[in-house]
């Protein structure tokens, strides 16, 4: 996997990668990560990818991270680990 560039954001670490004829967007927040794969046939220029990361999309990403944290805490509590 080849690192293309980082996409600046105040709350997330967002990295753009290229691998196997796909662009891979990795969004990280704390211990959690979301990954999105985009065919190079759909987006021919990697500079177009940041435009896809608009505020409505990133708001949903933030909600998903919150749900991931809730899920993780719940399983830890159920199993007496966290």
Q: 5: which DSSP letter?
A: E
* Total of domains in the chain: 1
Q: What is the mean pLDDT of the chain?
A: 95
Q: pLDDT tens across 15-29, in order? A: 999 999 999 999 999
DSSP state string for 6-72? EE--SS-EEEEEEETTEEEEEEEETTEEEEEEEETTT-S-GGGHHHHS-HHHHHHHHHHHHHHHHHH
Residue range(s) defining the domain that contains residue 13: 2-78
pLDDT of 46 > 90? The answer is no
Q: Residue 77 has which token pair?
A: 């509590």
């Amino acid at each position: 996997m080849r690192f293309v560039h980082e996409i600046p954001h105040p709350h997330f670490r967002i990295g753009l990668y290229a691998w196997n004829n796909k662009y891979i967007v990795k969004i990280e927040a704390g211990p959690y990560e979301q990954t999105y794969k985009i065919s190079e046939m759909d987006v021919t220029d990697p500079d177009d990818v940041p435009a896809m990361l608009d505020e409505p999309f990133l708001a949903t990403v933030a909600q998903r991270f919150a749900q991931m944290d809730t899920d993780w805490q719940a399983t830890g509590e159920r199993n007496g680990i966290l």
